[in-house]
Amino acid sequence: METATLAGGCFWCTEAIFKRLKGIQSVTSGYGGGTIENPSYEQVSTGTTGYAEAIQIKFDPKIIPYAKILDVFWHTHNPTTLNQQGNDIGTQYRSAIFYHNQEQKEVAEKSKEDLEKEAVYENKIITEIVPFSNFYPAEHYHKDYYDTNKEDSYCTFVINPKIQKLLQKFGKDVKEEYKNEA
């Protein structure tokens, strides 16, 4: 198994997306890239800790290579907005790839360059590609938030469309038990 750490806005959204992919063993919501030890949601929400809401993924690269994880990452959030995803605003919602080794760094930089060359987005991609420094799991009540709160308005209006986008663009990579989500 390998580890990937990504920040693409609200961790409820990114966790819900990545746990649906074949080859993903686990997805943990938490906080990455900040300066204090063991931050709380309340501390990170102030935007003063340097942390981003992030996920840490354990994956089998024989089933889902790191490049495919990044492809899903790029296409299921907006990597062109500074410190914002939709109505979620603040440095804690920035887009970032926290690479764990030189190979991940090179794959991330190439995937970003390729997207910019293809002009997939109208605006410039501002996603940070930085070395992994730390990650702290979020409080237990954030775990599997989407799956346990699907009727919540945030889940209905923000996460559901991301799940639909995942199914449309990456349906063949989605675990069987999630393929029929509407």
Q: What is the radius of gyration, based on Cα positions, of the chain?
A: 15
The rounded distance, in Å, linking the Cα atoms of 140 and 170 is: 29
Active site residue 10: yes
How many residues would you count in the chain? 182
Residue among 10, 72, 97, 138 flagged as catalytic: 10
Contact between residue 83 and residue 91 where contact means Cβ atoms under 8 Å apart: yes
Place of tokens 């746990």: 19
Q: By three-state DSSP, how is residue 82 classified?
A: coil
Q: By three-state DSSP, how is residue 44 classified?
A: helix
> Which residues are catalytic, by number?
10
